[in-house]
Amino acid sequence: MSSNPSQHKKRTRIALLPAAALLLVGGTVFVQSTGPAVAAETTLRAAAAKAGLFFGVAASPGRLSSIVGQEFNQLTPENDMKPSTIATSSGALQNTGAADTLVNHAQSNNMVVRGHTMVWHSQAGSLQGANQATLNTFIGNALTRWGNRIAYWDVVNEALEDNNTGRRRTQWPHTLNRDANGDGDFFDSTDTDVIRDSFIRAKQVVQQNSLSTKLCINDYDVEGLTVQGGTANRKANALYDIVRTYRQYIDCVGFQSHFNDNPNSIISNDLQANIQRFADLGVEVHLTEVDIDDDLSNNDIGQGQADNYRKVVRACLNVARCTGITVWGISDSESWRSSERGLLFTGGNGNYQRKAAYTAVLDELNKGRTISPTTPPVTPTTPPVSPTSTPVPPTTPPVTPSDPPVSPSVSPSSPQPPAGCSASVSLNSWTGGFVATVRVTAGSAPINGWSVGLTLPNGATVSNSWNSTATGTSGAVRFSNVSYNGRIAAGQSTEFGFQGTGTATGITPTCTAS
């Protein structure tokens, strides 16, 4: 089959989905089902646009055949915006020619660009070993070089360790981190955190230049709530804690989605639930580097792989704030993992053939979203970056401990006596399982800690929790604050969550403050 869609047999099939109603929420277009049947789209980008998301591809200047602009409406430079190419040791820019070629190609084909990537332990080139001030210089230069021509930037990439430890990496740039009070995290205002400090700088640049560029954190093996064997996905939980804590600086989360037979890289049944919990924080979620090893379907390059693609695309479509999917290359033979044959096309050099996986993705996109109108996505709010940090000179010094804490907190020496708290729960359920998000709200006075009790129905068990310490897994269970979310100012809230098996309908949480 040719790569030119105009030469394809015209699809006469009529999609079963009703017409799409566009809903603008927080600057993002969402689609809800409303009316009569509409014709199916014949390209990935058209079908995705109708469903209210982008469908993109990773590209290099040597791979800009016509199919790029025909099938995709988003482009990520696969290698040409990495520090190894464009950064000098002082954080200045160099060698931006290939990146410019890609941005120009995207613009002339009405494609959105994702910048990839700024703060990363790998492919750092001359930036390797830089301090935070130099990283900040590079962040500012990269953001302002392309401005609004880049819609999304991966500010921080792959910050978390392999093997489901849930820990940060220990190599540079994470050697810049300092856990000042030794409590095991980098979230306290006196800690130094390269993730926080890089996002603070990026947000300052965005605000000072009135850019609309959205700032993302991107990682792999974070896709499911669980990994193989049903073990909690600690890496996903750690990413969730980072996004929740630094929500005011982070606009979007990338799940790389390199699915293969590594036990931590599987397509788990709770992919959608995990996308949903990040989306519930108000960030956009993107599947940023999708490829699906055909081994996952018993060496079946046909239907099994197609079904897996369908499942992944559906998980995104079912979450309103999942606003984009990007495949990591056009064809199997030109992929970084060609032996896995994980992409949507075969062939090469501009002559590509569609696989069953392509047809499945197109079909699933054409079905559109199935989003309940009763649960509109939350509009994200981005408060201005701390007034103490403006105006910012071109080369910003590292963010100092004098920066205000990121999350709402009260002084530990707060004179008020402990007061009450309340808790409410929202459930995201599927057959055989659920995710509960519990909101803890302080009463009329600040609280220094909290504990939420609830009784699970018979047969329900807790398998995984985040942002709390859980006691018990069935019947009467209890969740207590962790180090960074115990203190809540009067009238303010924090959230924790847990995943369970069985059904949790009707659970009533009770909050006790300390």
* Active site residue ranges: 158, 289
Distance CA 500, CA 462 (A): 4
Residue 78 or 293: the one with the smaller Cβ distance to ligand 9MR is 78
> Measured from the CB atom, is 129 or 397 closer to ligand 9MR?
129
Shortest Å distance, C-beta 336 to ligand 9MR? 4
CB-nearest residue to ligand 9MR: 336
Residue pair 251/215 in contact by the 8 Å Cβ criterion: yes
> Residue 41 or 78: which CB sits closer to ligand 9MR?
78
For ligand 9MR, the closer CB: 128 or 455: 128
Separation CA 130–CA 147 (nearest Å): 24
Q: Report in angstroms how near the CB of residue 258 gets to ligand 9MR at its nearest.
A: 7
Report the nearest approach of ligand 9MR to the CB of residue 156 (Å).
Answer: 12
Q: Choose among 278, 162, 164: nearest CA to 231.
A: 164
In the complex, the smallest distance separating the C-beta of residue 117 from ligand 9MR, rounded to whole angstroms, is 6
CB of 31 closer than 8 Å to CB of 50: yes
CA dist., res. 85 & res. 62, Å (int): 16
Nearer to ligand 9MR, 40 or 290 (CB): 290
When the beta carbons of 287 and 513 are compared against ligand 9MR, the nearer one is 287
Contact positions vs ligand 9MR (CB under 6 A): 78-79, 122-123, 256, 289, 336
User: Which among 202, 311, 306 has a CA at the least distance from the CA of 252?
Assistant: 202
Q: What are phi and psi of 466, to 5 degrees?
A: -145, 150
Minimum distance from residue 65 beta carbon to ligand 9MR (Å): 17
The minimum distance between CB 417 and ligand 9MR, in angstroms, equals: 50
User: Of 47 and 68, which CB lies nearer to ligand 9MR in the complex structure?
Assistant: 68
Secondary structure of residue 145 in the 3-state scheme: helix
The three-class DSSP label of residue 357 is: helix
Q: What six digits make up the tokens of 505?
A: 């309908």
Nearer to ligand 9MR, 248 or 265 (CB): 265
CA angle 410, 416, 418 (to 5 degrees): 90
Q: Is residue 150 within 8 Å of residue 158, measured between CB atoms? A: no
Q: What angle do CA 97, 77, 209 make, to 5 degrees?
A: 75
Closer to ligand 9MR by Cβ: residue 239 or 436: 239
Nearest-approach distance from CB 204 to ligand 9MR, in angstroms: 25
Q: Give the C-alpha distances (Å, rounded to integers) separating 17 from 174, 359, 370.
A: 47, 17, 10
CB of 116 to ligand 9MR, least distance (A): 6
Smallest gap from Cβ 76 to ligand 9MR, in A, equals: 9
Q: Please report, for the chain, how many H helices and E strands are present, in that order.
A: 10, 21
392 and 204 in contact (C-beta within 8 Å)? yes
Three-state SS string over 241-273 comes to HHHHHCCCCCCEEEECCEECCCCCCCCCCCHHH
Peptide bond connecting 384 to the previous residue in cis, omega within 30 degrees of 0? no
Asked if 430 and 273 count as a contact pair (C-beta separation under 8 A), the reply is yes
Ramachandran quadrant class, 6 (left: phi over 0; alpha: psi -120 to 50; beta: rest): alpha
Closest Cα to residue 367, out of 314, 442, 301? 314
